Structures are given as C-alpha cells and as structure tokens.
Structure 1
C-alpha cells in the first residue's frame, strides 16, 4: 500500500507539471517535472523511497520502447538503416569505451567495469526529450529523423553494455572476445525474438478480427500487455528484451498502417491510450529524478562529500566527450544527413541534440541495490553523475539551439484557426436554420454545434443570462395568455401551467442556497398548509399585480394606436380576432371574463359536499378527462417552446451567443422531457449529418476564396472528422 501511495503521488506530480506547462509553455516540460519532483522530496515519506530496478526495466522502459517502435515509419527506417546503426551501435560502443576510460582516469577509485557501466548509462539519447526542448524551434527534419531512429536502438546498446559491465564487475572476469560474442547474441537475438513474437501477435490479432473479436475491450488490453509479455519472454531466453520490444513495436506499426480504415474506432482509442500512457511514464521518470536528487546529494554529502566536485567534473567531462564524438562522427560522414553544404551546422546541432532523459535515468535506477548481500558500491555516485548529465543535456541545448536555429514558422496561428472554426460553425447553423426543420430536433443540434465555438470564449455573463431569461419568460407568458384569450385552452389549466413553468425557471437558475430555501418553503407548504397558504396568497397577489403591470408594458410594446386613440392589436389567429371583436362589442376585457368564470367555478366548488368532490376527482382520473388535460398542457408547452425559440433566434448576436445558448439549453431540455420520440431522434441524426456536410462545404469554399493554407484546411478537416467520429460513437 505504501508503494502504491508513493506512485500515485508521483503520477499526480507529473499531471500537475503538465498543467503548469499548459499555462506557461516557454520553459520545457521536463524542467517542470523535475521541479515537481523537488517539491515532492520535501515530504518526509519520500526520504527513503526506492523502486526495485526490475520494475524500471519492465514497467517503464518496455512500454516506452514498444510505443517508439510502433510509431516509427518502417520505410524511412529501412532507407536510413546505415546511418541509424552507425549512430545507435558503432557510435554508442565507441562512446561507452571512451567514456569508461575517461571516468576511470578521472576517478581511479572506481573500478573499470563500473566506469564502463556509467558510460553505458549516459550513452542512450531520448528523442522525446529532444522534442520537448525544441518546441517553437525549426529543427531540421533530417537531423530530427536521425535522432529518432538512433534512440530506438542505442537504448538497447546501452542496456546490453551495462549488463556486460555489471557481469564483469560481479564475477571479476571479462573477455573481449566473449564480450563481443555475448553482445551480438543478445543484440541480434533480441531483434529475432521480437520479430517472431511480434509476427505471432499480429497474426493472432488478425484472427480476432476475422472472428469478429476486435472489440476495444479485447484488443486494447491485449495491445497494452504486448510489451510486457515480449520483454519477459526475451529476457527468459537470455536476449535483449528491449530490442525484442522495439522489433515487436515496428511489426505492429507496419500492420497498423495496412489496416488504416479497418477497426477505426479501435485504432483511435489504442493510439490515444498509448499517447497518454507514454506521456505519463516520461513525466513519471523526470519527476522521480527531481525527487531523488536531494536524497542522492544528501547521501553523497554524508559519505563522499569530498568527491562531490570530482563527480560534477566527471559528469561535465562525459557530456563534453559525447558531444565531441557526435560532432566528429558527422564530420567524418559516418552518418548521412543528406546535407553536404550544411554539414558543419548539422553536426553541431546533432551533437547538442544528444539529449539524455528517460532511458538514462531508468538505467541508473536499475542498478542493483545489493551485491553478494552488501550494498552495491558507488550506486549513489553513479546515479548522481547520470542525473547531472541529464540536466546538462537538457539545459545546454535549451540555451544554445534557439541561437542557431530560427523560430518555427507556423503555417497558421491559433487565432486564425479559432476564427475559421467560429465562421465554419456559424455557416453550418445558418444553413440548418434555412432548412426549416422542427425546432424540437433543431435546437439540440444547434446547441451542440455552438459548443464547439463557445469553448474558445469565456464563460457566460450571469447578469445577461438572467436579463435574457426574463425576456424569454415574458415572451412565453404572453403566448400562454394569448391561447387563454383565444379560448384554445381552458383558463384554469393555462394559469396553472404558467405558474408551474415560472417556478421551474426560477428553480433552475437559482443559486444552490436559494434552491435550498425554495425547497424548504415547498416542504413547509406541505406540512403547514394553512399558514403557508396565507403567505402564498399574499405573495400571489403581489406577483399578479407585478405581472399585470409587466403585461401592460409588454402589450404597449407589441401594439400601436389607431388615429381614434384605440389600441390596434396585431392580427394573429381568427379565433383571437373574433374574441377581440366580441370583447370590444361588450366593452368588457377578455381577462376579466375569464377571471369571472374562475370565480364562479370556485364558488361552485365550495358548495359541493365531500362526496361530490370525491366524485369530481374520480371523474378527473378517467382517461378522457386526463387526456384532455394533458392535451392542453402539451399545447401550452409546445406553443411556449416555439415562441421562446423564435424569440431567441431573433435576438441572437455574436456578442450574446453564449448567454442565448444557456437559455436555449434549458428550454430544450424541458421540451425534451415532454416529447421523447424516435422520430425526433432520427431527425436529429439527419441534421447532424447535414451539419457536418455544411462544415465540409464551408472549408472547401473558404479554402478557395480566402486562399487558406493547406495546413489550416487539413486541421479544420481533422476537427470535423473527429467531431463526426465522436458523434457516431455516441449514437451507437
């Protein structure tokens, strides 16, 4: 449980570093992760935290190398195999030999075998770390490609060399011939085992696919377990597990490219999962570096404090030696970078870009804790030197490469993409509105489409939301009373529905404390009806007076005066016109007539006996009366929804889109509760498909008219495709 808790804290620290980097990306992510580890080191529980060395090799290095392998372009690797092997094998061995001799010469106390082991640890490069420090810099593609291909195999070279060095140190015997033979067997044997196991696993996946078993729940766990299975099998056979994992990853990458359009959902989910996992593992290691450095420094201060300056000098010497060897390797044309004119500059960039990161630190921590029952000698010193080399390899190119390379010129800015995205969505919404589709299905589609552009803006203004909500309430209120005045619904049902929808609106938009207060008032109304009714009638009278005043103001806005001074109401329905004429002839307001009818019904109701009231309730429970009641409610709700939708469409602008969408979302959800039908769902699907097609049409048209860059067009197409894929997944 303790180890699990520590690992969780390390993962949380890595996530926190990613958050800070997203806010301020000018500093490379690795430095944030190291800083998060330094913060964790302040906790007492991390004072003596250690992970078993085997866990690093199996849990961290194996999945990272597998993902690097399956992300590698096999054709590019095959084309540049000579340069790759020259950097990853020959240069790595030369660096290990030179670095071991230099370390032993600078510190004779360290055994020669461990000196070679230290050089093997700091030799592997990390392409991911290179990418993190070159963000915003225009890195030459041929140099970056050489670094990525090199990092695939020099990790294995370093690990095999480290294994030979540790074996020589533990046994005290080393033969050059036997060492070369062992190296070739482990190196080539690892590749062969990886190819065989990778091919077998791919064939098994194809069998699953033919049998219809290529579901995510089967393929994804199977894919995640692959590097662990291959690594353990190769190590059991006595060959390089890392190279076996790399070879298996390359086989998987080739197969994935052949199946680009098959099992699309599985491939998308698998790729995304591996991206998250590798980013987390890389961050985990750098956080662990930051966490371990204070304790390593403290241990050295207590035991070998006089050797601290010497260890720093050894780290600097190893870093300079590796940089010089890489530069000379390029100048001797032992690595083909396809650029004779810029060979000097490319060699300097290649030497500076030999960044050491995850693999180096993982190999350092993989050193045994004990040897023959005693603490492994010089383990802390070796880890300290490796940590200094990593920091130097991160810091030096971060400072120098921006002076040698220009800033990366993006094909389009984020502002341009956001602007085109908003215009694309607006175009699709406008086209959908012109189809005159049913608002019940159209509103949810517009709401989802609008969410794409609302993500680019700040949150909605609550004051403006409540202002628009009041206007929407007034519009629905007027529509309800229009139905009552026209006699299309019974007045009692209309008033009841009006009060119900007003209470729903208030409850939906109140803050949590106000909701709780309203809920207690409703409970009190149930428990103490007589006292609550007195307060209710008092508040109701005030509310009715306020509504009458608001309605008068609204009617004044909606009407004009004739030359004789009488109000001329706009024509609506024939029933309303007839009702208005009747009211004018009798010189009696329509609402007063309905109020009188309501008063008469109340008086009649109070004259009924209890048995008669029970009979009235029983009749109301009959299917006919209930059907009429809900028919009136449905008519009121549909009319109110259509009125509010038309009102929101009429007042919507670019400045108040977020606030309007908040109101539209509430009324859409409320309307969907009344109307759940398969026909509406099918119409929504059709509208979504039309919307995606309208977005594609906009990109095609805008690309020609506005001369958009191919990169921007491709990013917009990618956005539409991903939205379409997510929508199709959610509907299945």
Structure 2
C-alpha cells in the first residue's frame, strides 16, 4: 500500500509539472519535474524510497524505448546508419574505456570494474531530455535527427557494457575477446528477437484490423503490451531487452504508417495513448531523480565533506571529458553533420556535443546496480549513483545556459492572430458557398452554418467560472420547468426523471473544473429531490397519470419547454459584461436542441451539407496557398483543423 501511495505521489508531481510548464514554458520541463521531486523527497515516506531495478526497466524503460522506435523513421535509420554505428557503438565504447580508466586513475580506491560500470551508466544519451532542453531553439534538423537515432542504440551499448563490467567485478576475470563476442551476441541477438516478435505481433494486429470493423479494443491492448512481452522474452534469452523493444517498435512504426489511412480511428487512439503514456513515464523518471538526489547528497555530506567534494568534482570532470570526446568526434567528421563552412561545422559540433543530455536510461542503469555481489554489499554503490545523478543534472544545466549562445531562438511560423484571421476567412467562404447553392432544407442549412461558426477563433475569452455558474442556473430552471409539467401529468414522471439526469450528466461533461462540476451536480440533485421528490420516486399515485409514453416523444416535448425557458432567461439577463459567457451557454443549448429535435432525414441532410462545407474549406486553403504568402506550418495547421473537425463530427453519435 505504501509503494502504491508513493507511486501515486510521483505521478501527481509529474502531472503538476506538466501543468506548470504549460503556463510558464520559458524553463525546460525537466527542471520543473526535478524540482517537484525535490519537494517530495522531504516527505517521510520517501526517506528510504527504492524501486526494484528490474521492474523499473520493464515498466518504464521498455515502453519508452518502444515508443521511440515507433516514432523513428525507417528511412531515416537507413540514411543515418553510418552515423548511428559511429556514435552509438564506436564512440560509446571509446567513451566507456577512456572515462573508466580516468575514473580509476583519479579515484584509486574504486575498483577498475566498477569504474567501467559508472562509465557505462553515464554514456547513454536521452533524446526526450534533449527535446525538452532545446524546445525553444532552432536546432538544425540533421543534428536533431542524429541525436534522436543515436539515443535509440547507445542505450543498449551502455547496458551491455554495464553487464559485462558487473560480471567482471563479480568473477574477477575479464577477457577482451570473450567480452567482445558476448557484446556482439547480446547486441545483434536483441535486434533479431525484437524484429521477429515485432513482425509476429504486427501480423496478429493486422489480422484483427482487417477482420473486425472496430478493432481498437483489441489492437490497443496488443500494442501497449508489446514492449513488455518483447522485453521479457529477450531478457529470458539473455539478450538485450532494450534493443529488442527498439527493433519491435520500429516494426510497429512501419506498420502504423502503412495503415495510416485504412484505420484512422485506431491510429488516433494509439497515437494519443502513447503520447500520454510516454509523457507520463518520462516525467516520472525526472521526478524520481529529484526525489533521490537530495537524499544521496545528504548521506554523502554527513559521511565526509571531503569525500562529497571529491565525488562532485569527479562528476564535473567526467562530464567535461564526455563533452570534449563528442566534440572531437564531430569536428573530426566521424559523424556526418551539415556544414557549409568551418564556422557552421564548429557550431554544429558544439551543439552535438552539448546536446548529449543524459536522463532516463542513465538513472535507470544507476538504480539497477545490485545491492549484493558475491554475498557482500556492493561497495561504493551510493557514491556511483550520486555521480550518475550529478552528471544528469549537469547535462541538463550546461546546455540550458550555453545553447542559447549557439542557436537562434525558435520563431513561430505564424501567430494566433494570423491563424484566427485566415480561419475566419475560410469559414466565411464555406458559409457563403453553401448559401449560394440555394439548398431547399433551410433548417439543416442553418444548423450547419451554426456548427461552422464554432470553428472560428475565440476573439473573446469567456470566464469559465461564470459560464459554470450560468449553467447551474439554467439547468436548475430547466429542471424546475420540467418538474412542473410532470406534476401536471403532461409527461411521464419516469421519463422526466430520466431526462433530467441525462441532461445533468451531459452538462457535467462540458464543465472541466471538478469543483464546479460537483457544485452543479449537488445543486441540481437537491432540486430534484427536494419538495418535488415525488416526481422522481413516486410510482402510481391515486391521481390519474398519463400512460408511460415513448421516451423520445416526451424528450422532444421536454426539450422544447426547457429550451424556450432557458433562451428567454438568457435574453433577459444579457449585458455587455456577460456577453461572452451568455454566448457559450446559448450555443450549448442551441446545438443540443437541434440534435434532439431533428429527424433522421434532417440528420442525413445535415451530414451531406457539412461534408460539402469541409470540401469548400479544403479548397479555400489550397487556393490561398497559391494566392497568398502562407507558411507551410500555417497551411498544415489549417488542414489539421479541418480534418480534426471532420473526424469529430463524422464519428459523433450524440
């Protein structure tokens, strides 16, 4: 139970960091996550908090690496294969060797095998952490692509090297030939197992995709379970589980791209699920870093202030060595980077070296160090974890201060004002084209025009709290009106109860604020169950009641009574101060009223008109590209807006 509560607090801190970052994006997200983890570290339950390393790799690292593989372009991998081999294998091994020997030289008490363990831990880079640090800067696309593909495979290099170093420490023996053979078997074997299992899982998902109309409920669990299954199988075969999930992820990414148009609903669900899951897991790791780092620092400082300072300076020295190695590697053209001249090559080489940010894998590998080796406690374990954590923090801090001097700030391809202006023109164009076609069904046409108007940019910002209070009053008014009619036996009391609760549930989904939702629910429930509670629970009273009419007919009548009462009320209280809030509430009731009142034929006419309107909008954007100077990003945003609205409407079943 305590472990569950701790994990719940870590997740809550991750979500809180995301909220703060959404409001103040000037500081990289990782720092908010670390800061909130630091605050959690002072809670009593985190004094001796530990997480099983095997579970950490299985539950956090495996899905993260699988998702990175899914989002990696196969063509990009083929094109950058030489750079991947150079950075993720050759440079990674060279860094481990040089850093390990240096660490053993400056820290003679540390066994050579453990020095190599630490070197293997701090070598892997983290593309997600890089993206967080460079979010507001213009990183050359080729450099960013190289960093992302490197991080997929140097993780495995670090993990294999760590296992070899731990084996050497536990046995006291080390063979270059044997270790090299073992490295190749584990590395290549992990890739092969991942490809095979990835293909098998894809075949199963494809089968369900093609034979079931709605396969999302099957393919989504399959896709989410894939990294755990692949990782466990590869580890059972004593191969690289990380490389296996990366390979399986790449196979799934190819499958996803090929089915992009044949399974739209599935792709939307899968993409959204993985975006949320990966964001949560990455944030979880950095919050965990914030939780563990202060405690390690306090423990080490209490043991010996001299030892603490030595560890701190050792971490700084190791970080500088890795930065210089990456710079020399890039400057010496061991990796292909865009460079029109020497100045650009110098800049891109420094960007590549400084962007070697360490994060998720490094922390996971540090936690994976065993507590006991050969029936003895692993010496210097806390020291090694502290050095690894310090390197992570340095790799986040240094680029944050130095990259702004090397890179230009990212400029928005378009402003919100520009997007709203073109969006308004697009909607006006579609509405005018619909009106000029002289459609006979004016009711359906008017409703489509109302729907199209909701696409416009929000020039006036409504106060959400005021909107929620307005909804409370209008819903209370509607309940009171319907209860009166039910008391007069003009509708079935059971249908009145059903209708009131259904509209209350629909309205609660509209209001995002949980406290306001609860207040709305409580206020309306009290009204329903107060002096007129007999409307809800009375069965057969002595007075004559109408037969239990068809619910659809009663619902239409109750909708008319409630709608007209609410519209009259909104017109009466409308002022300049609440104009925006009244507009939001009125639009909700107008759309709901039309949906309940319309017939099947009207619904089909409306759908046809709306599809026609979307085609006009696509045409407007295409024509505007040829006549106006619009950025590709703005065009893409407009097309995405149209396609998203079209998808939401066509899949709506309200």
TM range (shorter): 0.7 to 0.9
Q: Give 1:178 shift.
A: 1.0
Q: In the alignment, what sits opposite 2:494?
A: none
- 302-311 vs 27-36, which deviates more? 302-311
- C-alpha separation in 2, matches of 1:281 and 1:515: 39
Q: In the alignment, what sits opposite 1:240?
A: 240
Are the counterparts in 1 of residues 220 and 270 from structure 2 also a CA contact under 8 Å?
A: yes
Q: In the alignment, what sits opposite 2:196?
A: 196
- 26-35 vs 249-258, which deviates more? 249-258
Q: What's the TM-score, normalizing by structure 2?
A: 0.82
- SS of 2:462 mapped into structure 1: coil
Q: In the alignment, what sits opposite 2:412?
A: 410
- C-alpha separation in 1, matches of 2:277 and 2:559: 53
- C-alpha separation in 2, matches of 1:18 and 1:270: 21
Relative to 1, partners in 2 of residues 1:652 and 1:520: Cα closer, same or farther, differing over 3 Å?
A: closer
Q: In the alignment, what sits opposite 1:400?
A: 402
Are the counterparts in 2 of residues 429 and 446 from structure 1 also a CA contact under 8 Å?
A: no
Q: Give 1:421 shift.
A: 3.1
Q: Give 1:456 shift.
A: 7.4
Q: Deviations over 1:512-549 (max 9, x none)?
A: 699799779964999xxxxxxxxxxxxxxxxxxxxxxx
Relative to 1, partners in 2 of residues 1:103 and 1:264: Cα closer, same or farther, differing over 3 Å?
A: same
Are the counterparts in 1 of residues 447 and 606 from structure 2 also a CA contact under 8 Å?
A: no
- C-alpha separation in 2, matches of 1:515 and 1:59: 43
Mapping for residues 183-332 of structure 1, pairs under 5 Å: 183-212=183-212, 215-332=215-332
Q: In the alignment, what sits opposite 1:388?
A: 390
1:663 pairs with one of 552, 573, 586: 586
Mapping for residues 16-27 of structure 1, pairs under 5 Å: 16-27=16-27
Q: Between Structure 1 and Structure 2, how many residues are aligned?
A: 601
Are the counterparts in 1 of residues 30 and 283 from structure 2 also a CA contact under 8 Å?
A: yes
Q: Give 1:422 shift.
A: 4.2
Are the counterparts in 2 of residues 444 and 665 from structure 1 also a CA contact under 8 Å?
A: no
Q: Deviations over 1:28-60 (max 9, x none)?
A: 000000001011112111111111110122111
Q: Give 1:108 shift.
A: 0.7
Q: In the alignment, what sits opposite 2:639?
A: 717
Q: In the alignment, what sits opposite 1:98?
A: 98
Q: In the alignment, what sits opposite 2:461?
A: 457
Relative to 1, partners in 2 of residues 1:311 and 1:418: Cα closer, same or farther, differing over 3 Å?
A: farther
- C-alpha separation in 2, matches of 1:622 and 1:213: 40
Mapping for residues 616-655 of structure 1, pairs under 5 Å: none
Relative to 1, partners in 2 of residues 1:679 and 1:347: Cα closer, same or farther, differing over 3 Å?
A: same
- C-alpha separation in 1, matches of 2:547 and 2:293: 80
Q: Deviations over 1:243-283 (max 9, x none)?
A: 11111112222222222222121122112211111111110
1:419 pairs with one of 418, 421, 431: 421
- C-alpha separation in 1, matches of 2:237 and 2:530: 75
Are the counterparts in 2 of residues 74 and 254 from structure 1 also a CA contact under 8 Å?
A: yes
- C-alpha separation in 1, matches of 2:239 and 2:546: 81
RMSD: 4.1
Q: In the alignment, what sits opposite 2:117?
A: 117
Relative to 1, partners in 2 of residues 1:374 and 1:299: Cα closer, same or farther, differing over 3 Å?
A: farther
Counterpart check, 1:155 vs 2:155: yes
Q: Deviations over 1:465-518 (max 9, x none)?
A: 98xx99xx9xxxxxxxxxxxxxxxxxx99xxxxxxxxxx9xx999x96997997
- C-alpha separation in 2, matches of 1:524 and 1:262: 52
Are the counterparts in 2 of residues 447 and 661 from structure 1 also a CA contact under 8 Å?
A: no
Q: Give 1:133 shift.
A: 0.7
Are the counterparts in 1 of residues 466 and 581 from structure 2 also a CA contact under 8 Å?
A: no
Are the counterparts in 2 of residues 441 and 681 from structure 1 also a CA contact under 8 Å?
A: no
Q: In the alignment, what sits opposite 2:357?
A: 355
Q: Give 1:176 shift.
A: 1.3
- C-alpha separation in 2, matches of 1:517 and 1:390: 55
- C-alpha separation in 2, matches of 1:59 and 1:8: 15
Q: In the alignment, what sits opposite 2:599?
A: 677
Are the counterparts in 2 of residues 641 and 667 from structure 1 also a CA contact under 8 Å?
A: no
Give the gaps of 5 or more residues in structure 2: 478-487, 490-499, 508-518, 536-541
- SS of 1:730 mapped into structure 2: coil
Q: In the alignment, what sits opposite 2:72?
A: 72
Q: Give 1:431 shift.
A: 5.7
- C-alpha separation in 2, matches of 1:417 and 1:290: 39
- SS of 1:731 mapped into structure 2: coil
- C-alpha separation in 1, matches of 2:148 and 2:324: 20
Q: Give 1:301 shift.
A: 2.5
Are the counterparts in 2 of residues 445 and 684 from structure 1 also a CA contact under 8 Å?
A: no
Q: Give 1:433 shift.
A: 6.7
- 301-310 vs 154-163, which deviates more? 301-310
Q: In the alignment, what sits opposite 1:35?
A: 35
- 302-311 vs 127-136, which deviates more? 302-311
Relative to 1, partners in 2 of residues 1:112 and 1:521: Cα closer, same or farther, differing over 3 Å?
A: closer
- C-alpha separation in 1, matches of 2:465 and 2:393: 47
- 303-312 vs 265-274, which deviates more? 303-312
- 298-307 vs 131-140, which deviates more? 298-307
Are the counterparts in 2 of residues 100 and 119 from structure 1 also a CA contact under 8 Å?
A: yes
Are the counterparts in 2 of residues 412 and 711 from structure 1 also a CA contact under 8 Å?
A: yes
Relative to 1, partners in 2 of residues 1:453 and 1:91: Cα closer, same or farther, differing over 3 Å?
A: same
Greater radius of gyration (CA): 1
- C-alpha separation in 1, matches of 2:462 and 2:314: 52
Are the counterparts in 1 of residues 462 and 580 from structure 2 also a CA contact under 8 Å?
A: no
